[in-house]
Amino acid sequence: MTAELPSPQPPRFPASDTPIRVVGDVHGDATAFAYAAATDRFVVQLGDLTDYGPDSAGALRIMFDLIDRGQGLFILGNHDLKLARVLAGHARMEATVRATIEQLDEPLRQRVLIEAARAPGWLRRGDSFLVHGGFHPAMLTGPSPDHGLDRAEGRLARALFGEPTGRTQPDGYPERSLRWVDRIPPGLTVYCGHDRRSTDGRPYVRRGESGGKAVFLDTGAGKGGHLSWIDL
């Protein structure tokens, strides 16, 4: 299906004193996401709303309802971009994406195109930096670039995919380096998802050589684990 893409719009981010809830990768676990979204805080979801779990359509509806009420937004994740690019006719259909698309009615498919095209690649608020996959110091020089539904390159590729090594892990997923954590400046905390680094079911915290730290919030929702979030 080919659709006319919308022009990206600035994210609807709350004032600096607004309490926020940062939610990790949902991957179709709408039941858990409903619990996370049941808050007076502004919800920032770190991307990868869909695929793997049983109810990607439900997860999208929860997110879009938060957006419509001015109570949330999501950071662009690689699965969100992949879904939108397939719907727009820009990428090849894969089995995981096909299973998600089969859940979506036409209005929901069109909404995915709109929201994925204008979702930010990263956001910063004070000493907190919110991104899906990985950080690079160049991200601190300006806002996330407008991307439409283009293939991710440069800083946006780092934001969505982290830092791949080019090797494949025993589980079949790409191996990714965490060298980028050592480049986080002192006093800055990067909240991200993408990689399931936790070994105890809690968000994984890693401190870098430069004095910053990263908090990995993907604890396996939709993949046999559970959904994690942090209130700031």
Query: Which residues touch 96 (CB under 8 Å, ≥6 apart)?
Result: 51, 52
Opening angle at CA 121, ends 117 and 123, nearest 5: 125
Domain covering 20-231: architecture: 4-Layer Sandwich (3.60)
> Which residue reads 């805080």 in tokens?
41
Task: Say what the pLDDT of residue 9 is.
Answer: 41
Q: Are 211 and 189 in contact (CB under 8 A)?
A: no
Reading the chain (232 residues) residue by residue, the pLDDT tens digits are 444 444 434 456 777 788 999 999 999 999 999 999 999 999 999 999 999 999 999 999 999 999 999 999 999 999 999 999 999 888 788 888 999 999 999 999 999 999 999 999 999 999 999 999 999 999 998 888 888 888 888 899 999 998 877 777 676 677 788 999 999 999 999 999 998 888 888 999 999 999 999 999 999 999 999 999 999 9
Instruction: Please state the domain extents for the chain.
Output: 20-231
**Which residues in 48-66 are b (16+ Cβ under 10 Å) and which e?**
bbbbbbebbbbbbbbbbeb
Task: Say what the pLDDT of residue 172 is.
Answer: 65
Give CA–CA dist 56/69, Å, rounded: 20
Task: Say what the pLDDT of residue 5 is.
Answer: 42
For residue 189, what are its two tokens? Answer: 């905390």
